[in-house]
Amino acid sequence: MSLALSQKTIGNIQVLVLAGEIDAQTLPPLEGKLQELLDKGHYSFVLDFQQVSFIASAGLGVLMSVIGTIQENNGDLVIASAQPEVYRTFDLLDFTTLFKFTDSVAAGVALFPNAAGVQGD
Amino acid sequence: MEDAHQSADSPSFKPISVSLPSDVSYLDIARTFVADVGNKVGLLASEIHDLQLAVTEAVTNVIEHAYAGDSSQRIELAFEKAGECFTIVITDNSGNRFDPVNYPEPDMKEYLSQYRAGGLGLFLMRKLMDQVEFFSDSSGTNHLRLIKRVKS
């Protein structure tokens, strides 16, 4: 099992579509992509978790390591369409207080004030 | 079946073990093995997921901490079921004894406010399992016993 990662942009929001399992083996590409986008000044993220069947604490750690920088820059990271067991892993560690969760990517995108594509300053 | 009184372990599950390389690229195989054993025993999907998560955390910790990233070593996973207790023992020969006393449960509110990454594996194992025990012998072999009470 691996983790497939694709990226699309809706307005100024970076949507990362993940598919597979997130653990210490599979997460380096996700970590690298998030860092690359942060380095380019992107701070608005929706992560599409619909096809993620498993996440270990290593994956939560990576998301935690970027949320501080994201929020300091008035951005956010929303997790969309998480499966119940994956959501439960977040919940067991109280990470549900750190990230917003939505039922769909569209609902996640709509949480951003400038979702219409107007670049915030 | 007039007499439904059967042994709690029927059909009997014989203990089984597997040896894996101390390499994170085998974490998926560890999970697949857990699922296969869990299905054979008749565990619920949610129970299998909890066991997969706990084993992923345990094996990752052994690789990264006990073996300090040395991928040439071995990790043994042993499974058994007695009554309602499903037990997995994770064994390494690193000689690096782990003392859980040094790792009290974190205050998650404080932890999250500091955005600390990592170190959550043991905490997660304790949340997922009914019992988490570490023990070592004089030869440098460490064992982590995870016990979960299961419904089947």
For residue B117, tell me if it sits in a domain.
Answer: yes
Q: Which domain holds residue A99?
A: 3-110
- Is residue B40 domain-resident? yes
The domain tally of chain A equals: 1
Which CATH number do you get for residue B55?
A: 3.30.565.10
Alpha-carbon torsion (B57, B58, B59, B62), positive or negative:
positive
- The ipTM estimated for the assembled molecules is 0.90
Residue partners of B65: CB distance under 8 A and separation at least 6: B96, B98
Q: Are the Cβ atoms of A89 and B109 closer than 8 angstroms?
A: no
Which of B115, B129, B132 should we substitute to test contact with A (largest number of A Cβ atoms within 10 Å)? B115
Q: Which of A84-88, A111-115, B59-63 has the lowest average pLDDT?
A: A111-115
Instruction: Characterise A20 by phi-psi region: left (phi > 0), alpha (psi -120 to 50), beta (else).
Output: left
Nearest partner of A70 among A36, A104, A45, judged by Cα: A45
CA B132 to chain A, closest CA, distance in angstroms equals 16
CB contact under 8 A, B118 and A58: yes
Number of compact structural domains in chain B: 1
Which single residue is written with the structure tokens 């998030």? Answer: A34
Q: Is residue B8 part of a domain?
A: no
Whether B4 maps to a domain, the answer reads: no
**Chain A residues closer than 8 Å to B43 by CB:** none
Is B6 contained in some domain? Answer: no
Chain B partners within 8 Å of A54 (Cβ): 31, 49, 52-53, 56
Is residue B44 domain-resident? Answer: yes
Mean pLDDT, residues A93-115 taken together: 92
Q: Write out the residue range of the structural domain in which residue B25 sits.
A: 16-149
Flag if A57 and B128 touch (Cβ within 8 Å). no
- The verdict on residue B96 lying in a domain is yes
**Which CATH number covers residue A55?**
3.30.750.24
Reading chain B (152 residues) residue by residue, the pLDDT tens digits are: 444 444 444 467 899 999 999 999 999 999 999 999 999 999 999 999 999 999 999 999 999 999 999 999 999 999 999 999 999 999 999 988 887 777 777 777 776 666 555 578 998 999 999 999 999 988 889 999 999 999 87
Residue B102 counted as domain residue? yes
Confirm whether A40 is domain-assigned: yes
